[in-house]
Chains A and B, each alone.
Chain A
Amino acid sequence: MADLPSYPGAPRWVKVSAIVVAVLVLLGVAMIVTGVGGPHGPWRHMSGNDIPPTGVTEGTRGGQAPLEAGNR
């Protein structure tokens, strides 16, 4: 049986996409490591102030005046 032809390699669009993805991943990792992106994970975006205290009543959360209906 004849030898199989050699693999021509990945096309250019694959290489370019791989480089773009690698740069984006490095950027994301850098943001997380440096703290620019904040702590990561599903609940990373919720600081202590984000979590509503128990027993909070409507219109008093966050220590700010709530947005009122029709308040434009």
Chain B
Amino acid sequence: MTLSPRLRKSTLTVHVISSVGLLGAVAAFLILAVAGLVGRDAQTVRAAYTANGLTAWFLIVPLSYAALLTGIIQSLGTKWGLFRHYWVLAKLLLTVLAVIVLLLQMEGITYLAGVAAETTFSDADLIGLRRSIGLHAAGGVLVLLATTILSVCKPRGMTRYGWRKQNEARAALAP
């Protein structure tokens, strides 16, 4: 399956916007999570976790789905393929991992946002959950930085499957 040039450019544009937007959204989430952890002002702490809940539900989750979906469409609809080049495969694995971890974290993020909307935190309240959310957000930023670098650099290297497919195609074209 090969995408038409117009469709390829459209999905590429959506992919770049969603991927880079996701990195920015997770970075903003991380800053809010840190503000929630170290903040001494009750209103700031509550606002940080409330904003984190909204950011996660209405920005990070939709962008992560969009980035994953458009990435898969892009790779399957172009010469790159999904399993032919190591950099594409690495991006796929990292993105799937990030989405799984995000979905596992959503319950805690939602709970924390709900508590922040209803009550005032003390320093020790939900500290394990608050640290965990910050730690996972930091990990998310690193993973998304890695996928962005992979996209830009496209380091060489074909998988065994990609190598075989490439040579089969060359052999088929040979006179």
Q: Which residues of A contact B (CB under 8 A)?
A: 1-2, 4-5, 7-8, 10-11, 13-14, 17, 38, 41-47, 49-50, 52, 56-59, 61-62, 64-72
Contact = CB atoms under 8 A, between A and B. Distances in A.
In the A-B complex, the 7 residue pairs with the smallest Cβ-Cβ separation, listed nearest first, are A45-B128, A11-B157, A67-B42, A64-B122, A66-B120, A45-B129, A45-B132
Q: Chain A: interface secondary structure?
A: loop
Given A45-B132, A50-B125, A52-B115, A67 B90 contact: no
Contacts of A69: 41-43
Contacts of B157: 10-11, 13-14
Interface residues of B, number: 37
Given A42-B108, A50-B127, A70-B43, 6 more contacts: A4-B168, A7-B160, A44-B128, A57-B119, A61-B120, A64-B123
A58 B156 CA distance: 57
B167 A67 contact: no
18 contacts: A10-B157, A11-B157, A42-B105, A42-B107, A46-B128, A49-B124, A50-B125, A52-B115, A52-B119, A58-B118, A62-B122, A64-B122, A67-B39, A67-B121, A69-B42, A69-B43, A70-B41, A71-B42
A72 B41 contact: yes
Nearest to B105: A42
A67 B11 CA distance: 47
A50 B40 contact: no
A24 B5 CA distance: 40
